[in-house]
Structure 1
Amino acid sequence: MFGMGWPELLVIGIVAVFLFGPDKLPDLARQAGGFLRTARRMVDSARNDLADELGDDFRDLNLRDLDPREIVRRNVVEAMNDDDPEALELPAGRQPLRFDERPPYDTEAT
């Protein structure tokens, strides 16, 4: 949950007891739960309104496909699986350099 484990939740609970006291803590937890329920209801309502307005386009929209990490991963995998033999060949008239040969130096290159 939010990248927090039991030790973090325990520390938050102890700090809450010290800050608010054990007698106010149940009321604060009840208010926080009510706030979360209201926020979830508002988000669901907005999502449903958006789905009604956009119709089938919204249902077909997959936001995971728009994740930049997923796009990069997909392009890298496609490039690795690309079996284009022409991409591996050297241009005509060019020979690979020998091990001890230095590449040509262009003085006008930036």
Structure 2
Amino acid sequence: MLDINGGELVVLVVLAVMLIGPERLPRYAAQLGALVRRGKALLMDAKSRVDTELGPELKDVDWSKLDPRQYDPRRIVRDALLDDTPTTPRPADGMTSGMAAGGMAAAAAAPRPAAPDGPAPFDDEAT
């Protein structure tokens, strides 16, 4: 946000001391301290309100697992490959239970019934 390093901060403090002057500097420093204390109190109040509104379930969350610095794709892939929980395919919408159990390949490989003699059926609502 503010890309100020240590040397620039020292220059700003010296410039503020020169512009404000030694007689007004203690008053402004006290106002800055009061502003920081008031901001800290507001943040602590907001944190306590969030904690009370979200309840005790929030305290059980392990936030260190959600830290992006802990992200290691190799570990995630290793954990996923070593996971021994069996997965069962769920039938998608419009699939019959036989197609879901046998899979799409088995349904596609099954022989189709012979076409009846005569013209193919026509559906006016399909077009």
TM-score normalised by length of structure 1? 0.54
Instruction: State how far apart, in whole Å, the 2-side matches of 1:58 and 1:82 are.
Output: 26
Q: Please state if 1:42 is matched with 2:42.
A: yes
Q: Please state if 1:78 is matched with 2:76.
A: yes
Cross-structure match for 1:23: 23
Instruction: State how far apart, in whole Å, the 1-side matches of 2:39 and 2:60 are.
Output: 25
Cross-structure match for 1:104: none
Aligned length: 81
Q: Deviations over 1:9-65 (max 9, x none)?
A: 321211111221121111111100000000100110111111111111222345554
Aligned partner of 2:76: which letter?
E
Between the aligned residues of both structures, percent identity stands at: 28
- Look up the SS of the partner of 1:39 in the other structure: helix
Q: What root-mean-square deviation, in Å, do the aligned CA atoms of Structure 1 and Structure 2 show?
A: 3.1
Cross-structure match for 1:8: 8
- Look up the SS of the partner of 1:19 in the other structure: helix
Cross-structure match for 1:94: none
Ranges of 4+ aligned residues in structure 1 off by more than 4 Å = 2-6, 62-70, 80-84
Instruction: State how far apart, in whole Å, the 1-side matches of 2:3 and 2:74 are.
Output: 29
Instruction: State how far apart, in whole Å, the 2-side matches of 1:56 and 1:35 are.
Output: 32
Instruction: State how far apart, in whole Å, the 2-side matches of 1:25 and 1:17 are.
Output: 7
